[in-house]
Amino acid sequence: MRVRFMSQAEEEVLQATAYYVERSDEIGDQFLAALSDATDILLQFPRVGSPLEGEARRIILKTFPYQLVYRAEGDEIRVYAVAHLKRKPNYWTGRLQRSLG
């Protein structure tokens, strides 16, 4: 099994990382470590996250206000959003719907 970030989720990782690195390289590294920790957990326990719509789930990053919105699909975990918890709630729902179509 592997974790695959969809293109929009990859872009969100880059944006969030850049934001934190502007404040401090150390905080940027901590954000990436929290992201890595979350993906490691998903690889071990794909259904660990809180259920959302359909088969989608979310896992919240440690110490950062971000969630990974994902779905286990076949032999991979697809991350559809790396979403800030307080900004534009549920903006990513269309991504899940498009992925089913």
Query: How do the pLDDT tens digits run along the chain, 101 residues long?
Result: 999 999 999 999 999 999 999 999 999 999 999 999 999 999 999 999 999 988 899 999 999 999 999 999 889 999 999 999 998 878 888 887 766 65
Task: Give the number of domains in the chain.
Answer: 1
Q: Which of 68, 65, 60, 61 is nearest to 92 (CA)?
A: 68
**Residue 69 phi, psi (nearest 5):** -100, 120
In a domain, 44, yes or no: yes
Q: Does the predicted model carry a pTM greater than 0.85?
A: yes
Q: CA-CA distance, 1 to 32, in Å (whole number)? A: 21
In a domain, 60, yes or no: yes
Residue 61 DSSP one-character state:
P
Could you count the other beta carbons within 10 Å of the beta carbon of residue 43? 13
In a domain, 30, yes or no: yes
Check which CATH number belongs to the domain holding 32 and give it.
3.30.2310.20
